[in-house]
Amino acid sequence: MSELKVVDINKVEPERKTPPRSSWILISEKTVGAQNLALGVNETEPGSMVPEHTHETEEEVMFFLEGEGKFITQDQEIDLKPGICVYNPPGAPHKIVNTGTTKLKFVWVYAPQLKSHRIPNN
């Protein structure tokens, strides 16, 4: 049986990315030994974005907590605001744009987790 783990976001150093945004990786193989999923929080600065990308094998869920934005795919644009939850299947190109005047904050989950969330050679 695995050991219960607790992570305090206030003690996690965020990954700072360009265009301006930050990601706190809270649950992953690297942080707590998770094998099947990863969970974290993203804050995207006003006027910034998560550039278009694709997850070939990972399902992704995003739950939006603060701010306003757009979730953009090849076929649609979804308005983002607190309370919106988006499921993005594997293989679907997408980007997230902060259209508001405050940070766009959301919780993300990947299953399985991205290679970057795993311990190398595992």
The CATH number covering residue 94 comes to 2.60.120.10
Structural domain of residue 51, as residue ranges? 13-117
pLDDT at 1 over 60: no
19 inside domain? yes
For residue 82, the model assigns a pLDDT of 98
2 inside domain? no
1 inside domain? no
For residue 110, the model assigns a pLDDT of 97
Into how many domains does the chain fold? 1
For residue 92, the model assigns a pLDDT of 87
122 inside domain? no
106 inside domain? yes
Average pLDDT, the chain: 95
4 inside domain? no
Q: DSSP for the chain, please give it.
A: -PPP----GGGSPPEEETTTEEEEEEESHHHH--SS-EEEEEEE-TT-EEEEE--SS-EEEEEEEES-EEEEESS-EEEE-TT-EEEE-TT--EEEEE-SSS-EEEEEEEESPPGGGSPTT-
88 inside domain? yes
Summarised one tens digit per residue, pLDDT across range 47-72 is 999 999 999 999 999 999 999 999 99
Summarised one tens digit per residue, pLDDT across range 76-111 is 999 999 999 999 999 989 999 999 999 999 999 999
30 inside domain? yes
Output the pTM of the full model: 0.94
